[in-house]
Amino acid sequence: MGGMFDHTFRYESRRSAVYARHGIVAASHPLAAQIGLEVLRGGGNAADAAVATAAALAVVEPTGTGLGGDCFALYYDAATKQVSGLNGSGRAPAALNLDVLAAEGFGEELPRHHVNTVTVPGTVAGWADTLERFGTMTLAEVLPGAIALAEEGSPIAPVIAALWQNEEDKIRGASSNAAELLIDGRAPRAGEIWRNPGQASVLREIAEGGPAAFYEGRAGAEIVRVIEELGGHMAASDLAAHHSTFDDPISTTYRGHTVYECAPNGQGIAALIGLNILEGYDLAELPRRSPERLHTMIEAIRLGFSEARAHVADPAIEEVPVERLLSDAHASELRGMIDPAARLDLARGLELSVGSDTVYFSVVDGDGNACSFINSNYNGTGTAIVPRGCGFPLQNRGAGFSLDPSHPNALAPGKRPYHTIIPSMITDANGELFACFGVMGGWMQPQGHLQVAAGLIDDRLDPQAALDEPRFCISTDPPHGPVNLEEGLPDETVAALAGLGHEVVRVDGIRRTSVFGKGQVIARDPGTGVLVGGSDPRADGVAAAY
């Protein structure tokens, strides 16, 4: 890998980076990563393998993703050196608006798992559109691995088992079809075989009939039926009208690299604003775990959140001032607000619900094409409402809307909400792929992107070491909530941050898996074509390679 990274082996890293020539799939479940790798071995490109991996994760990790959720993707075409974006997020039902909610008693706040938080699932259309625009294979060719997992069953991994157990009560109380997501009325335990014949049948219908078989077929009818039974407002016409959009990614330069995020309605702009602020500091001169460095990074992303939460909305309906928010002048203005001796007192803005569960995965093929892909139900199993005979839960992405009619992100018919899930990509000064990466986990995502990008670029950490590095996470109500600090950060750093006015919370053990997100990174040496991958130690996954 030449001079891209410092490859000194560090005992503190929990595993070594993975090196390969022909392809890597880094995902949060080993079986899903292997299914993606089989597609690469079979001649598919990064986009083909990404959809195969996404479908497999929908089977083995319903605590974060599924056919009832949404997806986003960034795709790097090695031949043209172009990065393209796919927005696979769904919209609010046409019959749902603020007046309807107010009449139902929800004028100020909608319970985060309520049936009216279900937006149209964008996943299936997103998969099909990813293949059509960027891939070389069909749904019928990439879905058999996931179908086999659902029919034959697979052992549940430990982190997923723990997250599933946390969802038990919600699943049991969400709909009359809860048994389809449980074993004998409870969550599967680690090592138990999980089979999902209902989901297998839906996947077969999609493989044979494409997205129309989902949105206008049996699954679509069952989605409408269960929502209607629970008092919701989604109609068959909402599903039939759904479509993905291909939007130009937004980007900024950072130390000679270009960092890409999906355009709003996603929150990737928060990470880019934070990086723009950090561009004015020499982070490499500050020790990685020092209070000076962490304070600067925390304040930068707090300011990024403040701007994103004030402005991010569906750009098809509201104007989002992306150019101004990412301008050098705006970064300079924000940078000037940071006090090295004290935490900023930022005005409170929109209150949004918090999510922590998603799946992110990264794929790079031997030609250097890359697909940065994220798929989510939002809060764990979303609403946990299961359409009869389908084996998947419906997302609660509508919890991301504001009920303040004056806010750009206010709920409206056919509108897409503020979205937490964001894939990312980095190219070098020559436009060559530097890293295909992401960190999932609600509000953790822009924070994770900021921290991992700094690790890769400022510290020259290899992908695995960058993921292993202890993280911070502003939680509950960013930019105002407490700062969670992961085990591995020095006691003196924690004490110093508290002295600067940060409300600090130490987090260790199993809680790390839900607080600090789970990331995947694949980098590529443009000179040799060698790939180097890392997979987050906070999850069950691997970087599978050949």
Q: Which residues are marked as active site?
A: 358
Tell which residue, 101, 122, 50, has the closest CA to residue 382: 122
Q: How many CB atoms lie within 10 A of CB 36?
A: 34
CA separation (Å) from 191 to 158, 162, 194, 542? Answer: 8, 12, 9, 17
Exposed / middle / buried, residue 216 (Cβ in 10 Å: 0-12, 13-18, 19+): middle
Radius of gyration in angstroms for the set of CA atoms belonging to the chain, rounded to a whole number: 22
- Sheet containing strand 433-439, strands side by side: 18-20, 531-535, 519-524, 433-439, 424-427, 257-261, 250-254
In our burial notation (b when 16+ CB lie closer than 10 A, e otherwise), range 442-462 reads: bbbbbbbbbbbbbbbbbebbb
- CB under 8 Å to 285, separation ≥6 — which residues? none
Evaluate whether 139 touches 50 at the Cβ level (below 8 Å): no
Distance CA 517, CA 450 (A): 13
Distance CA 452, CA 266 (A): 19
Triad 266, 522, 357: Cα angle to 5°? 45
